[in-house]
Amino acid sequence: MATTIKTTKGQAGLTGNSAIAYAMKQINPDVCAAYPITPSTGVVEEFSSYVADGDVDTEFITVESEHSAMSACIGASAAGARVMTATSSQGLALMWEMLYIASGMRLPIVLTDVNRALSAPINIHCDHSDSMGARDSGWIQLYSETVQEAYDNLFQAVRIAENENVLLPVMVCLDGFITSHAIENISLIDDADVKEFIGEYKPEHSLLDTDNPVTYGAMTLPDTYIEFKHQQSEAIVRAKDVVSKIGMEFGKKFGREYGLMEKYRLDDAEAAIVIFSSAAGTTKVAVDELRKAGKKVGILRPRLFRPFPFKEIADALKNVKAVAVLDRADSMNGFGGPLFNEVRSALYELEKRPKVVGRIFGLGGRDYKVKDAAGVFEELLKVAETGKVEALTKYITM
């Protein structure tokens, strides 16, 4: 049975998975093809109950694997349907081949990725190795700190994906178990307001529009392939401004505005941590405690990772003396995590660059505590004072 949503003046206590399933119910996509996998199972389970109960008009396709799920999503989207799905970890990895096809065909599919560590060894808990492994697949990526943000991000993702200047798939990420299974009191949007905000889907192209025939899946050779990739690359560049515009529009309508990133007590900070998703909340507690002790520290939490807002990140960190980029994934490149590499590159063009270090934390769901964040800040403040970095990259294991 689907979760019964009891609201008080638009408020409800929901887990992240339940909030995503309820948002999908409000969106009422034409097609959902999915295969359950921990910790995203609750999304598919609850949404399928909405389908069974007749609360939505969605064609729910049960498939034999995540590869088949994305294949079905691609077919449905190419036919002109509004399409959504959800997965985690090895499920996303099994979709790998099809992720590139979805983006290369410019299909506005929306996928919720409940972040979970990739095997081996087998682990069902949170890190970002799954979505980071797909970071160059051509999907727009949004990262959510809270249940409320995950819920809000899903509506915006539909608008971003379907924007005529974008037409690319979008991945909404939230932390497995930490956010997906934690109950949070959130503000729900009325069904009518959701319908008005996302609008009726009118596909740019459809295989079923016989009056305007199109081809999907055609072969291209060296004389044309690069033009397709260039157009796709330009579209994802344009997506950055679309994300900002839709975030502002969402804020004006519903009172919760979203940008490319969140800056927390960063204006006068000498030391800053750059970090994704739920761990930002823990880091904010450390910031508040250190601020009481007179230490100038702050946070930059990127919400948008693909496309990477490198100019905006550089501008936000240009006056900071020392920066630590905390990754919940390792690129296995011998030089830190993916976010560290990209933030450090973004800062390269600054005439006066902050010192930047990379720290990898929380793999496989390892606890990240306030004391861990405070320890990183103490290290950064020392770097800010001396200008010397003792360890450029390392793991936080304790």
pLDDT for 397 equals: 87
One domain, residues 46 and 188: yes
Give a yes or no: residue 122 inside a domain: yes
pLDDT for 2 equals: 59
pLDDT for 346 equals: 98
Of 254, 289, 310, the position where a domain reaches its end is 254
pLDDT for 195 equals: 98
pLDDT for 319 equals: 97
One domain, residues 46 and 117: yes
pLDDT for 355 equals: 98
One domain, residues 231 and 272: no
Give a yes or no: residue 1 inside a domain: no
pTM metric for this prediction: 0.97
Domain count along the chain: 2
Give a yes or no: residue 137 inside a domain: yes
One domain, residues 267 and 222: no
Give the domain CATH number at 377.
3.40.50.920
Give per-residue pLDDT as tens, 117-155.
Answer: 999 999 999 999 999 999 999 999 999 999 999 999 999
Give a yes or no: residue 44 inside a domain: yes
Give per-residue pLDDT as tens, 253-294.
Answer: 999 999 999 999 999 999 999 999 999 999 999 999 999 999
One domain, residues 196 and 340: no
Give a yes or no: residue 78 inside a domain: yes
One domain, residues 321 and 185: no
One domain, residues 220 and 312: no
Give the domain CATH number at 114.
3.40.50.970
Of 221, 254, 287, the position where a domain reaches its end is 254
One domain, residues 210 and 287: no
One domain, residues 153 and 268: no
One domain, residues 107 and 207: yes
Written in H, E and C, the secondary structure of the chain is: CCCCCCCECCEEEEEHHHHHHHHHHHHCCCEEEECCCCCCHHHHHHHHHHHHCCCCCCEEEECCCHHHHHHHHHHHHHCCCCEEEEECHHHHHHCHHHHHHHHHCCCCCEEEEEECCCCCCCCCCCCCHHHHHCCCCCCEEEECCCHHHHHHHHHHHHHHHHCCCCCCCEEEEEECCCCCCCEEEEECCCHHHHHHHHCCCCCCCCCCCCCCCCCCCCCCCCCCHHHHHHHHHHHHHHHHHHHHHHHHHHHHHHCCCCCCEEEECCCCCCEEEEECCCHHHHHHHHHHHHHHCCCCEEEEEECEEECCCHHHHHHHHCCCCEEEEEECCCCCCCCCCHHHHHHHHHCCCCCCCCEEEEEECCHHHCCCCHHHHHHHHHHHHHHHHHCCCCCCEEECCC
| Structural domain for 286, as ranges | 262-395
One domain, residues 249 and 273: no
Give a yes or no: residue 2 inside a domain: no
Give a yes or no: residue 96 inside a domain: yes
- pLDDT-flagged residues of the chain (< 50): none
Give a yes or no: residue 4 inside a domain: no
One domain, residues 107 and 65: yes
Of 238, 254, 270, the position where a domain reaches its end is 254
